[in-house]
Amino acid sequence: MKKQLGLMTSLVFLALSAFLWTGCADKCCDDNNNNQCVVQSATQSDSTDQSEPACPPECKPFTPPPCPPVCAPQCPPPRACPPPPPCPPPCPPPPAFKPMCAPPCPPPSRPVCAPPCPPPSRPMCAPPCPPPCREPLCKPQVRCKYPSSNELACRDGIIVTARNPQMCMLGDQYPIDFDVKACDDVCDVEVTARLPEGVTFVRSQPEARVEGRKLTWNIGHMSKGECRPAKVWVKCDCEGDLCACFCAKATPVRFCSLLCAHPILTCEMCGPDEVCPGDQVQITVSVTNRGSCAAEEVVLTNNVPDGFEHNSCLRSLTFKLGSIDPCQTKKVNLCFTAVKRGKICDTSVITACNADSTSCQCCVNVCKECIEICKVGPKEQMIGKNADYQITVVNPGDKPLTDVIVTDAAPSSTSIVSANGSTINGNQAVWRMREIKPGEKVTLPITLTTCTPGCFTNRVSVTNCQGCCANAEFTTRWKGRPALNVCICDLEDPICIGEPTSYCITVVNQGSESDNNVRVVVNFPREIVPVSATGDTPGQVSGQSVTYEPYNNLGPRQTLRYRVDARAKESGDARIKVEVTSDSIKTPIVQQESTIVN
């Protein structure tokens, strides 16, 4: 292949040389050569009239320098260019005889001269390397005529700044950023950018109106200090300095405005959801102006609801808030005391001279977690018998009570016979309940007994997880049986008629219980006549009988003593009878004493 290229190059060079030689022969006697010849002939005729006309010197052979080889590094070593072909003789060989010329060269005649040498031409050499291995020639970097960023300061009140990268690779996309800033209030803002040749429009943001290479953004109105960005992406299609042109225009404007506004007042009350009676209730009232102008002479009025009390003892509270600007909030703190159970709602009313009135409400549940317990049973009971008691547990509060524990502690002198549903441990009975709902009532039975008389108090308590506690107690008088013992004896026995004697009567309560209305009556036979009666109660002698007034509350181990003085009337075996009755002894106790009267 390389040999063929060399051969073709040689043939082309020979043809070009022959063409140049033919042209030289045709123009060898043109006007310039003629004039030269004329000038030169005129000069020689001054020295000798018969000299021959001067001709240009003969051409010397010209050998062009060989072509330097150019190869890429990856190609094989270059071959030297073939030697240039010899140039043909520029002029034909001179004839053997001298040409005949007229003695003088007349001006109009032209001598026949050999053609001048063709202009030296560089031989065309075949490339020493194949085309794929050819390296491109280095190109110097072209300097841009304009900077990569620029600013357009308009007198219309806007400033446009544009910037793009300093360099972009061929075939890549690059952005052009625009910043439009208003130095004044303007309208009809329009920015125009003209893309250079050599780039292709890709897209813009915001969307621009595209007319060929002209992009237009109609921005419209802009306020002073406002800045609007714009961006366009283009693709680089050719090398070189790519300059985008941009311009802008706007119209400065001024405004005359009037504010049309309306204040809107809103209020909100915030407080606890639940309190107990007697607790402090903190309520915050927030008044906000959500309108577009200030609300003037704002007044907050709060009517204290039933169930709340204010420390001022007033039932209506008034607060002057003054002026409230738009988006401004003023707060008022209210402090009440809860005095009544239930759901209590507090209402606040907000008024202003230039705004509509509004109101808000806050509801608080005043509830109580409490428990009540009571115990009932017999007030009196005879010892040895059972006394039945009922324990009642009530949840009078407003919330359920959980893990309720009821504990009944029986007196040490008594014992627990039964307690349904409880756990009995000695003299203690314990009931456990998971929950007692509001208003629910639970009844627990317990039975006690004792052999010891007296007044014994039975106590019961209740607890729960909510911390509510309550206690109850009940006292029962355990009654024993009174046992009266009556004794009568005479001091003088026997006696004679007319002699005195005395009778001593004792009544002893040998039982465990007191006895009331103890009555003592002494009956004498005809042999003896009672004279007087003394004792713990007054006695009255009536015929053959002595009656003592009743004695109340004869306690256990207590003794009553009586004495009756008498005198013998007839002889015989006199039998004196003593009868004792009481509330516990309906059938009289009868005792006799025998006295012998001689």
Instruction: Per residue of the chain (598 residues), give pLDDT as tens.
Output: 555 566 666 676 666 655 554 444 444 334 444 333 333 333 333 333 343 444 445 545 545 555 555 444 444 454 544 555 555 554 455 544 444 444 555 555 555 555 555 555 555 555 555 555 455 556 666 666 778 888 888 778 899 999 888 888 888 888 999 999 999 899 999 999 999 888 999 999 999 999 999 999 999 999 999 999 999 999 998 888 888 888 988 888 887 888 888 999 999 999 999 998 889 999 999 999 999 999 999 999 999 999 999 999 999 999 999 999 999 999 999 999 999 988 999 999 999 999 999 999 999 999 888 899 999 999 989 888 999 999 999 999 888 999 999 999 999 889 999 999 999 998 999 999 999 999 899 999 999 999 888 899 999 999 998 888 999 999 999 888 888 999 999 898 888 888 999 999 999 998 888 889 999 999 999 889 999 999 999 999 988 999 999 999 888 889 999 999 999 988 888 999 999 999 888 899 999 999 898 8
Count of all residues that appear for the chain in the document: 598
Domain positions in the chain are 149-252, 265-366, 372-479, 484-597
Q: Count CA atoms within 13 Å of residue 408 on its CB side.
A: 33
Q: Cis omega before residue 130 (within 30°)?
A: no
Quote the CA–CA distance of 358 and 560 in Å, as a whole number.
89
Architecture of domain 149-252: Sandwich (2.60)
Question: Residue 473: CB partners within 8 Å, gap ≥ 6?
Answer: 375, 457, 458, 459, 460
- For the 372-479 domain, the top CATH level (class) is mainly beta
What fold does the segment set 265-366 form as a domain?
Immunoglobulin-like (2.60.40)
**Contacts of the segment 385-388: beta carbons below 8 A, 24+ positions apart:** 385/449, 386/417, 386/447, 386/448, 386/449, 387/447, 387/448, 387/449, 387/476, 387/478, 388/445, 388/446, 388/447
How far is it between the farthest Cα atoms of the chain? 247
User: Which residues neighbour 149 within 8 Å (Cβ) at sequence distance 6 or greater?
Assistant: 161, 162, 163, 164
Alpha-helical (H) ranges within 27-110 are: 31-44
Dist CA 384 CA 49 (whole Å): 196
Residue 31, strand partner residues: none
Write out the two tokens for 157. 């009140």
Domain 484-597 carries which CATH code? 2.60.40.10
Based on C-alpha coordinates, what's the Rg of the chain?
74
Q: What one-letter code names the amino acid at 193?
A: A
Cβ–Cβ < 8 Å for 447, 460 = no
